[in-house]
Structure 1
Amino acid sequence: MKKVLIIGSGAREHALAQTFLRSQQVNQVIVAPGNDGMTDAGIQRESILVTDLHALRDFALAQAIDLTFVGNEEPLTLGIVDLFEAAGLTIFGPSKAAAQLEGSKSFTNELLNKYDIPTASSQTVHTLAQAETVVKTFGLPIVFKLDGLALGKGVTIIFDEAQAVTYLTRLYKDSPTAVLVIEEYLEGVEFSVFTLVGSNGVMVHAPLAQDHKRRFDQDKGPNTGGMGAYSPVRWISETTKSQAISELVTPTIMAMQKEGTPFTGVLYTGVMLTKTGPKVIEFNVRFGDPEAQVVLPQYTGDFYALILNLLNGRSTANKWQIDDVYVGVVLVSEGYPESPVRGARVPLPENVTPLTMNYAGVQAGMANGGRVVTVIGHDKTATYAQQKVYNKIDSLDTELRYRHDIAYQAVDSERQTL
């Protein structure tokens, strides 16, 4: 039997652990560092920070880990895959050079422009004066993206001149050396493509997902790491999905190979479906959170075997369910995202049976962070799945907060077809 190490601590890593444990080949999954909510049989937690790469490598060697799967983006951009591979360890994820697709927005934009992969027009600036000039050139609305990792919260949409002045003045006062990518504002429908990429460019595409970044109902309030998601996105046509893959995903994988930085791991392509076709909004080099919590349960095959096949460059059948829609709602601490209040009691798994819980910021049964738990349910339609999840959540005795309209796009689409 095999042992798998998952690096990360959130609900995404909890979902990954559950997915690997469904494999008949895996009897133990170790999550480093994990959190106190991961109490499933077969899951062990090891308190090693995701940034302590050498300690993680030494642990994997000492425990004779068969496969390491990196859930969190930070160790990827620090080069954990390079370090593990040098030690002869099997690990799934991109090299430090390839992880620049998420770690450096300027790198990504240069790559997309060089290979004519559709995306927003953009310019990278290093000073306040440069930023002010670009804003005047691009016009409003406009998008500001901090170069580097921002945990899903580094994007700001600017709608008026006063907002732009305030943002830029504060940024370059607090961080005089900040690198800012300024992009044209794209209008359209946003969705996510998750592609598992193996050696030799072998690819497996997961069902489409759509997340909800804004904190409050009706997409109001500040951006967050994600308040909920659903998958598959049935109202996005197969033609559009195929176009996004053939025009955005595949050319990017091929471009990375040509640049000498071949990509292996999970490529998360954020897509905006505009009037002129799909365009890249951003790339991440790992599963999204909360998208992973609604995508991974849909895999019906042996996930451990899938990853090994990909690492060995072997093509494999797509084994994703097609019958149900999965809806996940994130419960967060009061005050999230600006000032999360810790200490709220966290619901136990039996409180939502037969739904699934994936835990994130939990310590000793209490909320210990902003996003605390994702509650996931599924049914034949998005409408039924949404009702199932909210009926259960609304009955919980909890101080945690949540949006009440996750998957509203899918529900609206189903109503229009009745």
Structure 2
Amino acid sequence: MAKVLIIGSGAREHAIARAFQQSPKVMAVYAAPGNDGMRREGIMTLPIVETDFSSLIVAAQKYQIDLTFVGGEVPLVNGIVDAFTAAGLLIFGPKKAAAQLEGSKAFMKKILLDHQIPTAQARTVTSLAAAQAAVQALGYPIVIKTDALAAGKGVTIHRDAQETAKFLAACYQRQEEMTLVIEEYLSGFEFSLFSLVGRNQIVHAPLAHDYKRRYDHDQGLNTGGMGAYSPVPEINSATLELTIRTLVMPTLAALQEMNTPFSGVLYTGVMLTASGPKVIEYNVRLGDPETQVVLPQLTSDFYDLISGLVTGQKVTPQWQTEKSFVGVVLTDPDYPQGVSGNYLLPDLGTDVLVDYTHSAQGQQTLLSHGGRVATVVSSGVNKKEARQTIYQTLQAADLPLAYRHDIAQTISEVTYEK
């Protein structure tokens, strides 16, 4: 019987831990640092921050962990896989060099452009003058991305010259040589593909579509994610095959060519444009909240899948094809600008799954503790039925928390924009 360690504390990590728990080959699941909501399902939490590699290694050795799965990007970009591997511990994820695919947007963009992998035209700049010239060359609308990690909030879209000039001036006032990636705007339908990359095999999970902006109809600020659904019926099998063949596989080949082979989760953010699928971004881990609607679709053993990929054994995962899954993120009412308080998290019943992000144990109950609080997930024969279940549950609960009301609506009802 195996013991598994999950690195991270959010709803994504809760969903990952639950998937491991369902394996008859797993006797114990630990999460570091985890949250109090996880503990309600028998997931053991360790009070170690995800960037304290030495303490995490000591804990993995102490508890005789057989496999570690990294949830978030920060420890990956900082080299947790290198550290665990050097200590002789089995871990699923890319090493530090390959993790720069997410850690640096300039690094990622150079790979895509150098290898002619379909993506938005872009320029990487380090000065105000260069940024202004890039905007002039690419035209409006224009997309401006910070080079480094930004917790899903480092992308802004600009349509007005005066506002853009003000934004760029503020950037370079804060940091004289800030690196920005300035891109042409891509329009179309956006979707996410998770490719689980092992030693000898690649497994592609069901597609997902997520909602990034805070308010209904894609109004308000970008957030870490307000909801998602999966599978994505808007994308047919031919488009999926084209995406894998022209985007995913050439990127993995390029990394191999650079002597930075990739293993772990390659998250391809794709825009289906009028001229075909193009890469918006790459992440090097499972997405949040997409994970919460993708992993429940795995009907085979998750531990077998991940341990097999890490060790190079042949795996034959099975995914359901009969249902749609919808996830709605609950947040503090003031998110993403701030946190207004600690709110009661009631029991939402058995019709939905709840993956906790920020929760703290109160007296016989859970309290919210942070911006994004939990992801509520339901399933149905189609998106309409799944979202009906979830919104009826939320309405009946009369929650003090905030959420979007338009997750998984039809394309015509929602404006899709990065």
Give TM-score, length-normalised by structure 2.
0.96
Structure 1 residue 159: Cα displacement: 1.1
Whether the 8 Å CA contact 1:27–1:42 is kept in 2: the answer is: no
Structure 1 residue 12: Cα displacement: 0.2
**Residue 231 of structure 1 aligns with which residue?**
230
Say which SS state the counterpart of residue 271 (structure 1) adopts: strand
Whether the 8 Å CA contact 2:217–2:413 is kept in 1: the answer is: no
Distance 1:291 1:411, change over 3 A: farther
Amino acid at match of 1:10: G
Say which SS state the counterpart of residue 39 (structure 2) adopts: coil
**Residue 297 of structure 1 aligns with which residue?**
296
Q: Between Structure 1 and Structure 2, how many residues are aligned?
A: 410
**Residue 390 of structure 1 aligns with which residue?**
391
Structure 1 residue 267: Cα displacement: 0.7
Distance in 1 separating the partners of 2:391 and 2:349: 10
Structure 1 residue 266: Cα displacement: 0.6
Task: Provide, for residues 365-417 of structure 1, a one-character-per-residue CA deviation record: whole Å limited to 9, x for no partner.
Answer: 2221110011000010100001010000111132100000001136979xxxx
**Residue 334 of structure 1 aligns with which residue?**
333
Distance 1:134 1:410, change over 3 A: closer
Could you list the structure 1 runs, at least 4 aligned residues long, displaced by more than 4 angstroms after superposition: 410-413
Task: Provide, for residues 73-121 of structure 1, a one-character-per-residue CA deviation record: whole Å limited to 9, x for no partner.
Answer: 1000000000000010000000000000100011111111121111111
Distance in 2 separating the partners of 1:181 and 1:145: 5
Distance in 2 separating the partners of 1:298 and 1:115: 34
Please, what is the CA RMSD of the aligned residues?
Answer: 1.3
Structure 2 residue 404 is the aligned partner of structure 1 residue 403: yes
Whether the 8 Å CA contact 1:382–1:411 is kept in 2: the answer is: no
Which runs of no fewer than 5 residues in structure 2 stay unpaired?
none
Task: Provide, for residues 215-251 of structure 1, a one-character-per-residue CA deviation record: whole Å limited to 9, x for no partner.
Answer: 1111111100000000000121111111111110111
Say which SS state the counterpart of residue 344 (structure 2) adopts: coil
Distance in 2 separating the partners of 1:330 and 1:411: 22
**Residue 282 of structure 2 aligns with which residue?**
283
Which runs of no fewer than 5 residues in structure 1 stay unpaired?
414-418
**Residue 130 of structure 1 aligns with which residue?**
130
Whether the 8 Å CA contact 2:120–2:279 is kept in 1: the answer is: yes
Structure 2 residue 349 is the aligned partner of structure 1 residue 352: yes
Whether the 8 Å CA contact 1:7–1:68 is kept in 2: the answer is: yes
Amino acid at match of 1:371: R
Whether the 8 Å CA contact 1:352–1:393 is kept in 2: the answer is: no
Distance 1:44 1:411, change over 3 A: farther
Distance in 2 separating the partners of 1:81 and 1:230: 30
Structure 2 residue 281 is the aligned partner of structure 1 residue 267: no
Structure 1 vs Structure 2: percent identity of aligned residues?
A: 52
Amino acid at match of 2:369: N
Say which SS state the counterpart of residue 192 (structure 1) adopts: strand
Say which SS state the counterpart of residue 182 (structure 2) adopts: strand
Say which SS state the counterpart of residue 178 (structure 1) adopts: coil
Task: Provide, for residues 134-182 of structure 1, a one-character-per-residue CA deviation record: whole Å limited to 9, x for no partner.
Answer: 1111111000010011111111111111221121111111222311000
Amino acid at match of 1:214: R
Distance in 2 separating the partners of 1:142 and 1:318: 41
Structure 1 residue 314: Cα displacement: 3.0
Structure 1 residue 123: Cα displacement: 0.7
Say which SS state the counterpart of residue 267 (structure 2) adopts: strand
